[in-house]
Structure 1
Amino acid sequence: MTVLGPQPAADIPAPLLAVEQLHVHFPMATSWPWQTGSALRAVNGIDLSLAAGRTLGVVGESGCGKSTLARAITGLQPITSGRLTFEGRDVTDLNQAGWRRLRRDVQMVFQDPLASLNPRMTIGEVVAEPLRHLFPGLSRAERWDRVTAMLERVGLSGHMVNRYPHEFSGGQCQRIGIARALVVQPRLLVCDEPVSALDVSIQAQILDLLQALQDEFNIAMLFIAHDLAVVRQISDEVLVMYLGQAMEAADPDTLFDRPHHPYTRALISAVPRPDPDFERTRKRILLEGDLPSPADPPSGCVFRTRCPWVQRDCAETVPERRPRSDGRGEVACHYADELARAS
């Protein structure tokens, strides 16, 4: 799914990362050996592209496949089918040695700041570890110079290198995680809900830090979150996922001001606004029922079992991704254009 709006072809940068029809399925055990096992379809046909210096936000409720998508893109989860290219090079079938070399260019920031750090290592050792493995030619002095410089760049003191992770707050631990990811100067940074475990004030600081580092190093960033306000602040494009599939994609202002897909509308209607008069009068879209199991998704449109505007043919035909009626992004819904005109 192309997530760029209607821009002149000369203004669209070449993608650093391109994902085509990505599927990640997990086989499920059966009760009897002669039975055919089913598969849990965590990611089921995702297309996206991301250029250097740009941020793609991925949103959706828990269980929609966001984290599995992140792990597949970073080589931490095997891909069932599809194509993954980095700088025009097909990296879909890279072996462990190939991914080890690519780690210089692709790094990840994890959701839980403290759990992602080894408690038995000082933060200096934590940040230096990628350098030791990916740049073995560096001397110890050169490694420590890079470590202290990066710690100071993320807002920590270089004198803290001998302290342990439990001595830091959650926000400081996430800064350490960011320093560890960026010390090797990657081209792509994948952030899997990096601020969800932090206080609101600390979230703002971490988001500002990520944006400043992105501008400084021209990093492409895949930013995964369930908080739509956070995604709108940091993203250049937004991809909405539901049950492993892409529902809609557009730039943040277009998506939030004029959503076309019913699922996007429901997500945005749940975002609180600091306006008491608006909050008292606005109508929220409440989705009934629970997220279906990715092991047994609904026929046709996977969102139809919870869609307030469902029609008979929604159960019969899978909606194809097509350009939105305004030409800004794409949407996968049979009746997106009718809903957009009615709103």
Structure 2
Amino acid sequence: MATSADHQRAVVADDLSISYIEHGSNRKHEAVSGISFELEPGEILGVVGTAGSGKSALGRILSGRRRPGKGEWPFITGGTLEVVGMDLRHPSRLDRRRIDLDIGYLAQDSGDQLRNDLTVAENIAEPILSRDRTFDRKRLGRAAAMLIDAVDLELGMLGKFPFELSRGQRQRVAFAQALIVEPSVLVVDEPAQGVDIIARPALFSLLERINVARNCTMILLSHDLRAIERLTKNVLVLDRGFVLARGTIDEVLTDPHHAYLKRMREAREYALTPLPGLVERETLAAMDLVADGLFGDPDPEQLGADAERSAREQLVSQRAEFARFHTDDAEEKE
């Protein structure tokens, strides 16, 4: 039985085993075998492993999502798992209603799962509207705009449909969709998957800001140690469903005893430089707004400043002779 202290932790996995039914057969395959770990609120854990290591199955289970009838969708076969106080092995009716609101989940193919009959804005808002059709549409629209800006996409994309976007753009829309409910735990499977290399710094910066501002617990699953290391030094290394190591990256890679850990250390030595690309000032400002909260009352001074800037930019676009005033004003602020 879990103690009261366990409920204060964000994630408690105890001797957790996960299996799935192999596609096209009735044979059960064990993806994860007897792993245990705990996460405090606000902690970031990187789960590292090659294809077939069990990390994606773990991510799906941690997300709490269930898809009955879907082949190869994993299920818990042993041990216990609690996320923000919810029993994910035997969730209650209340737990099932809370899961999608308390746990954000971005799968590798989330961008491909967006509804093509909804606009980008409607897709982002869907996790809220599917539960409350009376939710204030104006507040939702403002939140969707903040999110699309924060994931470094143009506001004009809000009115487009997913089939009009590239795969990387769709994945960033799915990223925004996962954040719209402001989850207390966020599970991200391959955070850089399919995303243009120039856009990746914005996504990692957004995750970092949300973690700091909202004490959001994060589990990042990836084969790429460089991607994980941008946000945390704490890792759990999986290999064929078993835990090879748990600790900081330096601890795990010091005198590695396993061939996979040795390859990780070698790869790290060649990948210590930061990802290329810069995040635009406007995108950074949008990230701060998202991190501070999507549904708070807007700052009147900020709204006034935004309106003034918009009017100035419109004037410059219409009257080229005023461009020097716009440039001088920007230089003074810098």
Same fold (TM over 0.5): yes
Distance 1:267 1:227 in 2: 9
The alpha carbon displacement at 1:84 in A equals 1.1
Aligned equivalents of 1:265, 1:125: Cα separation in 2: 46
The alpha-carbon distance between structure 1 residues 242 and 215, as it changes in their structure 2 partners (threshold 3 A), is same
The reply on whether 1:59 has 2:53 as its aligned counterpart is no
Once the two structures are superposed, residues 44-79 of structure 1 have per-residue CA deviations (whole angstroms, 9 ceiling, x without a partner) of 111122222221111111011111111111123431
Q: Which has the higher helix share?
A: 2
Q: Distance in 2 between matches of 1:89 and 1:198?
A: 32
Q: How does 1:296-335 map to 2 (within 5 A)?
A: none
User: What code does the residue aligned with 1:68 have?
Assistant: A
SS in structure 2 of the partner of residue 53 of structure 1: coil
Report the counterpart of residue 291 of structure 2 in structure 1.
none
Tell me if structure 2 keeps the 8 A contact 1:44–1:244.
yes
Q: Secondary structure at the match of 1:211?
A: helix
* Greater Cα offset, 73-82 or 233-242: 73-82
Q: 1:27 to 1:162 in 2, by over 3 A?
A: closer
1:102 corresponds to: 99
Alpha-carbon spacing, 1:113–1:85, altered in 2? closer, same or farther (3 Å): closer
Q: Does the alignment pair 1:201 with 2:198?
A: yes
Cα deviations across residues 14-35 of structure 1 (Å, max 9, x unaligned)?
Answer: 521111111112356999xxxx
Code of the aligned partner of 1:85 = E
- 8 A Cα contact 1:42 1:68, kept in partner: yes
Q: Point out where structure 1 has 5 or more consecutive residues left out of the alignment.
A: 1-12, 32-36, 276-343
Distance in structure 2 (CA, Å) of the matches to 1:273 and 1:88: 40
Report whether the alignment pairs 1:177 with 2:174.
yes
Q: How far apart in 2 are the matches of 1:214 and 1:185?
A: 11
Structure 1 equivalent of residue 10 of structure 2: 16
Helix, strand or coil for the counterpart of 2:135? coil
What is the distance in 2 between the residues matched to 1:175 and 1:216? 21
Which of 50, 71, 75 is residue 60 of structure 2 equivalent to?
71
Residues 222-268 of structure 1, C-alpha deviations (whole Å, 9 max, x = no match): 10000112122222410000111111011123323454544312332
Opposite residue 17 of structure 1, the aligned amino acid is V
Following superposition, the deviation at residue 220 of structure 1 comes to 0.8
- Do the aligned partners of 2:55 and 2:221 also contact (CA within 8 Å) in 1? yes
Aligned to 2:285: none
Q: Percent identity?
A: 29
Distance change (3 Å), C-alpha of 1:257 and 1:137: farther
Secondary structure of 2:17's counterpart equals strand
Q: 3-state DSSP class of the match of 2:10?
A: strand
The residue number in structure 2 matching 1:163 is 160
RMSD (Å), alpha carbons = 2.8
Name the counterpart of 1:254: 251
Tell me if 1:221 matches 2:210: no
Q: How many residues align?
A: 258
